[in-house]
Amino acid sequence: MQNIGHYINGAHVNAKGARLHDIYDPNTGAVQRRVELAGADTLDKAVKSATKAQRIWAQTNPQRRARVMFDYKVLVEKHTEELAELLSSEHGKVVADSRGDVMRGIDVIEFACGIPQGQKGEHTYGAGPEIDVYSMRKPLGVVAGITPFNFPAMIPMWMFGMAIATGNACIIKPSEKDPSVPMRLAELFVEAGGPEGLLNVVNGDKEMVDAILAHPVIKAVSFVGSSDIAQYVYGGATATGKRAQCMGGAKNHGIIMPDANMEQAAKDILGAAYGSAGERCMALPVVVPVGEGTAEKFLEAFMPKLKAMRVGVSSDAEADYGPVVTAAHKKRVESMIDQAVAEGATVLADGRGFTLQGYEDGFFIGPTLLDNVTPDMETYKEEIFGPVLQIVRAKTFEEAVALPSEHQYGNGVAIFTQNGRAAREFADRVEVGMVGINVPIPVPVAYHSFGGWKRSAFGDANQYGNEGLRFYTKVKTVTQRWPEGETEDSAFIIPRF
């Protein structure tokens, strides 16, 4: 059985005596690979390699860095299908979703190709008598990214794309559940002409995370995962003087106004709630019909679509979604459905106990729909992170604004309406970081930035876009004056007017 090690200085390496962690095929429940769980010694090797490579890379002009990023973009595009299939084999999401995972990462790499424009700094001529002032954005040095299991292609590229383009070296610590795609992405970077050692991948668990937080050479940490761990990473990073951007959990709401196009809303919410088995921080696990009769109209359009959904193995091109990532996660999601029922929710569709013929040991959960959920229920307050949609009925627009605004998470929200004034007011007032108007998953394009509010994000810097550029650089400002020299030769060099 294959053991996955680490990718350091352009080569695969193994850590002596490292613990091993099982990697499952979520479709069958069988162990297919094992990954090494290393610690501080392995990280230190990666940091030394990264430090050496970064010193040279930082002196490379922005045009050259951009060309490497462009060549890398082209190469990843060429390998998209390979990456998508590898991703699905470990994560369980269907190949179409995995393909989208890769492509959204490529979008950020494409943005990073414009780094000569983004990093050029500012200049003021004549800020004082014969004084000019200019600023430049310098790389931080060696930075680290700690990435989650649910987007093993996109989120690493969010992090190392911006970090490397701006002149840093980057160390990625992927999820131990599905580490193969980040390893392959690092191989492709070297193949595209990236310097060896500039992008390293170290595998591990909490021991590796703690080593990253404590390492004195690492200047910044980017994290995506659950809110409790995001808060832990943020506290540990900032305590040692590092910059930190830590994205946490979510409980995104879909507000359905009485005038919404119900067919379109039902179609959009179906994909947003159940796509990738709900294992997305920008999934839409809560729907909020507003006003008398709106819930019934929504359900009339939604239920036939829900009943027609197909759950299948990740290689099934006809499947709407596949299994969840592990048996432990399947057990957790099903236990939260149990809890919701105990709290008084009405089950309109029950995915517990779902099995797929021929794949009885796979980690499958059927699409679940819970009605009459209320804000006091623990299962409403917490992130379920599975193929479960909850209906919370609201009587008024004010109540609909308050629900996502008062929730502990503030990642994303969507409103479905044909009323421009209502949409504008909602977008202005709702206390959430990313808003969709008739857009169910409002993940910003690469030249904007991604980030939530409240317990969905710790730190004041968003991912990618110009926010990412600022996170991975520090400003140096130069104030200069060239007074007239006192030697005779100076008069010939600089004429007086």
Sign (positive/negative) of CA torsion 70, 103, 444, 244? Answer: negative
- Contacts of 201 by beta carbon, 8 Å cutoff, 6+ apart: 6, 7, 8, 171, 172, 173, 174, 179, 182, 183, 186
Question: Using 50, 70 and 90 to split pLDDT, how confident is the model at 380?
Answer: very high
Q: Nearest 5 degrees, angle CA 213-CA 238-CA 451?
A: 100
Judge contact between 373 and 380, C-beta under 8 A: yes
Cβ neighbours of 427 (radius 10 Å) = 14
Please give the average per-residue pLDDT across 431-440, as a whole number.
Answer: 96
Give the SS3 label for residue 428.
helix
Q: Find tokens 């929730």 and name the residue.
A: 407
Give the SS3 label for residue 110.
helix
Query: Is residue 150 over pLDDT 70?
Result: yes
Give the SS3 label for residue 381.
helix
Active site residues: 281
pTM: 0.94
Read off the tokens for 146.
């700690």
Question: Using 50, 70 and 90 to split pLDDT, how confident is the model at 217?
Answer: very high
Question: Using 50, 70 and 90 to split pLDDT, how confident is the model at 483?
Answer: confident
pLDDT tens for residues 332-354? 999 999 999 999 999 999 999 99
Sign (positive/negative) of CA torsion 71, 73, 78, 82? Answer: positive
Nearest to 201 by CA among 15, 471, 2: 15
pLDDT for 486 equals: 58
Question: Using 50, 70 and 90 to split pLDDT, how confident is the model at 491?
Answer: low
Q: C-alpha distances in angstroms, 431 versus 108, 346, 401?
A: 26, 28, 8
Phi, psi of 161 (to 5 degrees): -60, -50
In which element (H, E) is residue 139 found?
strand 131-139
Phi, psi of 7 (to 5 degrees): -120, 105
Judge contact between 80 and 102, C-beta under 8 A: yes
**Mean pLDDT across the chain, nearest whole number?**
96
Question: Using 50, 70 and 90 to split pLDDT, how confident is the model at 488?
Answer: low
Report the alpha-carbon distance of residue 342 to residue 99 in Å, rounded.
Answer: 38
Q: Find tokens 């048996």 and name the residue.
A: 327
Walk me through the domains of the chain, giving residue ranges and CATH numbers.
3-248+456-479 (3.40.605.10), 253-437 (3.40.309.10)
- Contacts of 246 by beta carbon, 8 Å cutoff, 6+ apart: 221, 222, 223, 224, 230, 231, 233, 234, 237, 457, 458, 459
Give the SS3 label for residue 174.
coil
Query: Is residue 489 over pLDDT 90?
Result: no
